[in-house]
Homo-oligomer: A and B are copies of this chain.
Amino acid sequence: MIRSVPAFIEGYGPVEPFAGAFARLGPATRRSVTRHPVRPGQGKLLPSIRAAIEACGLKDGATVSFHHHLRNGDDVLRAVMAEIAAMGFRDITVAATSLFPVHAPLADHIRNGVVSGISATYIRGPVADAIAAGALPTPAVLLTHGGRARAVEAGDIRIDVAFVAAPTADPYGNINGVQGKSACGTLGYPMVDARCADRVVAITDHLVPYPACPIDISQEDVDFVVPVDSIGDPQRIVSGITRVTTKPEGKAIAAMAAAVIDASGLLKDGFSFQMGAGGVSLAVADTLKTIMSERGIVGSFAAGGITGTLVEMLEAGLFRTLFDVQCFDLKAVDSYRRNPAHQSMSASQYGNPHACGAVVNQLDAMMLGAAEVDLDFNVNVTLGNNGVILGGSGGHSDTAAGAKLALVTTALATNTHPKIVERVSFVTTPGETIDAVVTEAGIAVNPLREDLRERLRDAGLPVVSIEELQHKASCCDGVTPPPPVNPAEGRILAVGQYRDGTVIDVIRANPG
């Protein structure tokens, strides 16, 4: 069951309520964009971020965008917002792809009125805390990767200026992410912003002679280029290595998830797969790797944020292609740099529900995480049981909607709280798009997937009901039901927007 949401939310506007994962897929409009032509002989290089802000004609109330490919190493959002604040602008909306702890200074800009609006697909750290504390005068808007691309293309989010952190750029605005000290790999997220923003500024710490080949974002969309000393901390831009889980419980869950994929009938030539960078997902990938090698299965593609594990599978011939919206580690960056079978994809190509068919639609199996799952298979990856904003959908809802087999892997409980609950405190991803939940205590299959349940039973896998899992979760040693968070009444702090632009849930302030 999805909660009802108000018809109008102050500071957000009229609400179209979520009505089903595929209820709103009529002809969709890509908005008209105004370009500022550049004549022969006219340059784009500017000496400072301030000069670029001035050249873009930024105004109070404007929307500026940023991407998160530099992850917790990004210094561009800080630098730009510091300049915007120093120039005295007010009432700015920050349309970020994701916000990390490194973006802490943004919390101050919220508190002092420079920033009055935030949207992102994932928010964690001090900015999330500021939002949860009610510091933002308007509700934060939590999107999905594909939904943000849709919103930017449709003009629901109108970006006045996109500031693109550019690991490499030339003086005429061609950008790539594979060269320079801040190399981060593909640039799937800002590709969309660069196409749709009114003005686009590349900020780079590696200015190279024209042209910055290979080109990920083209000069035809970039207005200005600003060289700076550093766009971030390379140590934090990509993690060096990702690790398979070593916990016995995690290993058991991973083994069961791999068995579910095997039993689903999807694991054959042409198989496609996506996972996160978590330890359980990596363990699943390891098992699939063994099965695919043994049986000589060649998959079509692996997608998503790409890890070294998937690169190894590509190089071993287990997949023909990688679709990469974002490199998760250095091995992925290196692979994208040199292997033509490792392709970039924009956030729109990845998950936009209003595109003429996104990559997620071609996914066979998707591995998903969860903070909570409820009896309707709804998943929460947004709100913690202590009221903390944990992150958000990212591509969670997009891949769940697209994949033939959307598998949630989770332990029954944390040390203190159940993870399978009667009702999630916030619906990130609707249960109708989740096919099964894999726990150490068995696999619950969504009643919508009777076919899958049969297959798993035939394979001798421990299929149980979601109710049974919920009951077991509540009985784990030391586990107590969490205190209520996200009440039915109260000020709305954040609006959860489903990928189609409807409102699927809200986060409200707790009383007192």
Contact = CB atoms under 8 A, between A and B. Distances in A.
Interface of A: 22, 25-42, 44, 172-173, 200, 209-211, 213-215, 218-223, 270, 300-301, 320-321, 323, 340-341, 343, 345-346, 348-349, 352-362, 401-404
Given A35-B27, A40-B401, A209-B300, A355 B220 contact: yes
A34 B28 contact: yes
Given A35-B356, A352-B220, A355-B220, A402 B40 contact: yes
Name the residue among A34, A220, A340 with the largest chain B CB count within 10 angstroms.
A220
A340 B355 CA distance: 28
A347 B310 CA distance: 35
A349 B401 contact: no
Contact of A300 (B211, B214, B401, B402): B211
A29 B27 contact: no
A22 B42 CA distance: 12
Contacts of A354: 35, 37
A343 B219 CA distance: 14
A32 B32 contact: yes
B35 A340 contact: no
Contacts of A26: 37
A38 B321 contact: no
A413 to B, nearest CB: 32
A66 B34 CA distance: 26
Contacts of A30: 32-35
Contact of A214 (B223, B340, B349, B352): B340
A404 B42 CA distance: 12
Contacts of A172: 357, 361-362
Contacts of A219: 349, 355-359
A30 B153 CA distance: 12
Contacts of A343: 211, 213-215
Contact of A213 (B211, B341, B361): B341
A29 B34 contact: yes
A42 B209 CA distance: 45
Given A209-B300, A213-B341, A270-B209, A355 B34 contact: no
Contacts of A222: 356-357
Nearest to A215: B343
12 contacts: A25-B37, A27-B37, A30-B34, A30-B35, A38-B355, A38-B356, A42-B357, A211-B300, A215-B343, A220-B355, A222-B357, A340-B340
Contact of A220 (B42, B301, B348): B348
Given A32-B31, A211-B301, A321-B213, A37 B356 contact: yes
A35 B354 CA distance: 7
Contacts of A36: 27-28, 356
Given A28-B34, A30-B33, A340 B213 contact: yes
A171 B300 CA distance: 13
A407 to B, nearest CB: 16
A486 to B, nearest CB: 30
A25 to B, nearest CB: 4
